[in-house]
Amino acid sequence: MGFPSERSLTCVLAVSLVLLTLLPSLAGAASPTACFAPGTPDVLMDRVSAESGLLLAPSAVPAHPASVIPGWTNTATDPPGLVRGEPITLTWSVIPDGVTIQAGPGVGDVESVSDLRAFLDGIYGSEATWLPLIQQALQSWSVYAGVRFVMESNDDLQPIGASSAPGLLGTRADIRIGGHAIDGNNNIVAYAYEPGGGDLVIDTVDSFYTANTSLNSRRLRNTVAHEIGHAIGLLHVWPTDRTKLMEPIVNTTFDGPQFDDVLGSTRNYGDPDEPNDSSANAPDVGVVMDGSADTVWLSLDGSSDEDWFSVVDAPGARLSASASPQGGSYRVSDADCTGESCPLFAAGSQRDLAIEIYASDGSTLLASADSAGLGASESLTNVLLPAGGVFVTVAGDVVDVAQLYDLQVSLVPEPATSLLGPVALVVLAILARRR
């Protein structure tokens, strides 16, 4: 993700899975993600990475597609006990200017107060212009994953940073966004904290944000969206070929999360339809008579996930449905492989899909398909519907990985019923001619 003909950012993940493994007592300590401008001396990047806890050995980084660290287990809205694949609600805010920002561990900044609001006012004129840009960056994740962002209007002025107080409804947000001088122009331009911390800090003396506000300020929006990706548990991925938001180099050639980013986010929080693991929580698929519905980028987030969808009561109609794995194959790695032979990841062949149709009682199986094999679509055609509506379910094999898929459902009248009127008219016309 680089800015064509513009200065780009190289973001280095500064979270130590090895350290958290060896020292569980430190698992709640927040670690930041530091972003560097091209040309930053290697010695500076090495120092920041080491001091902020970047001790990642190749074996310590989860293999793709599980290139995520554990997500939030509770938020200001959600009680403790959240597990992978469950949707969450995260509150967020832009802190008032004057709130203390703690020094980011190993980042090199010093504790000072936030001046982000004044900084953005200087670029955009008023909050009415820049606040929607930050909202768009957050909501770009909600389009695809089970992460709902709600703005928290209150802030109790507690410091933000590594030891920030957790979110509390009506008091402070889960993710608090601020900014101060980090290290002057270039070099580090922003950093954020992993799940459980989530705070985001922008360098307010960096010309990166002021130099270009084209494409609806995509520079700002993609940078914030990238850092929010880390805040919800996504690691960096390579190669840097401008196809994924979570590549170390941010760019404006696309807008917001891309396919691989969506795959990672749904692994932690499911898709926006979650929780729909039973008939009781099945959303309406939205198909009408003589119509079809195509829902894209749904996700089976793990081995226990099964997606249920309801179809309206249309007795005598014929239903056809298919579930198609998405993603194809592309090169991706959780370690820097730019300019080298990156491994090929078969995103469309992670789970062997199956599709079933149940009667309105949620237990009577009417039809099923599970024979096409890994990477292929499963389809059912012309299933005669009983009264009361039906449920369409999509599931996968027991492999504990995420699989994105599209669901297509169509509904047509029973041919014998739909032709009865025209046939009767023809018969009447023939009898009339014979009189």
How many Å is the Cα radius of gyration of the chain?
25
Using the predicted structure, report yes or no on whether residue 434 has a pLDDT greater than 50: no
Q: Which residues contact 364 (CB under 8 A, 6 or more apart)?
A: 358
What was the pLDDT predicted at 357?
98
Please name the fold of domain 9-269.
Collagenase (Catalytic Domain) (3.40.390)
pLDDT band at 49 (very low <50, low <70, confident <90, very high): low
Residues 71, 84: contact at Cβ < 8 Å? yes
Would you give the distance in Å from CA 48 to the centre of its chain? 28
Express each pLDDT in 68-90 by its tens digit: 889 999 999 999 999 999 999 99
Q: Which residues contact 24 (CB under 8 A, 6 or more apart)?
A: none
4 upstream amide cis, omega within 30 of 0: no
Express each pLDDT in 231-240 by its tens digit: 999 988 889 8
What was the pLDDT predicted at 217?
94
Q: Which residues contact 5 (CB under 8 A, 6 or more apart)?
A: none
E-strand stretches of 227-377: 249-250, 291-300, 307-311, 318-325, 329-331, 344-346, 354-359, 365-369
Would you give the distance in Å from CA 67 to the centre of its chain? 13
Map tokens 């290697």 to a residue. 42
> Rounded to whole angstroms, how far apart are CA atoms 306 and 347?
19
What was the pLDDT predicted at 234?
92
Express each pLDDT in 275-289 by its tens digit: 999 999 999 999 999
Residues 327, 351: contact at Cβ < 8 Å? no
Would you give the distance in Å from CA 56 to the centre of its chain? 24
Encode 374-394 in three state secondary structure: CCCCEEEEEEECCCCCEEEEE
Residues 169, 180: contact at Cβ < 8 Å? no
Domain locations in the chain as residue ranges: 9-269, 279-418
Please name the fold of domain 279-418.
Jelly Rolls (2.60.120)
First to last CA, the chain: 79
Residues 26, 19: contact at Cβ < 8 Å? yes
Residues 180, 204: contact at Cβ < 8 Å? yes
CA count, 13 A, side-chain hemisphere, 110: 1
Express each pLDDT in 177-232 by its tens digit: 999 999 888 877 788 999 999 999 999 998 888 888 889 999 999 989 999 999 99
Alpha helix segments (H runs only) across 232-302 = 259-269
> Rounded to whole angstroms, how far apart are CA atoms 222 and 5?
17
Closest CA to 250 of 9, 4, 39, 6: 9
By mean pLDDT, which of 128-142, 330-344, 356-370, 371-385 is the weakest? 330-344
Higher pLDDT, 73 or 1: 73
What was the pLDDT predicted at 169?
98
Q: Is 409 helix (H, G, I), strand (E, B) or coil?
A: strand
What was the pLDDT predicted at 402?
93
- Supply 225's token pair: 């969206």
pTM of the model: 0.86
- Supply 197's token pair: 């911390």
Q: What type of residue sits at position 252? A: T
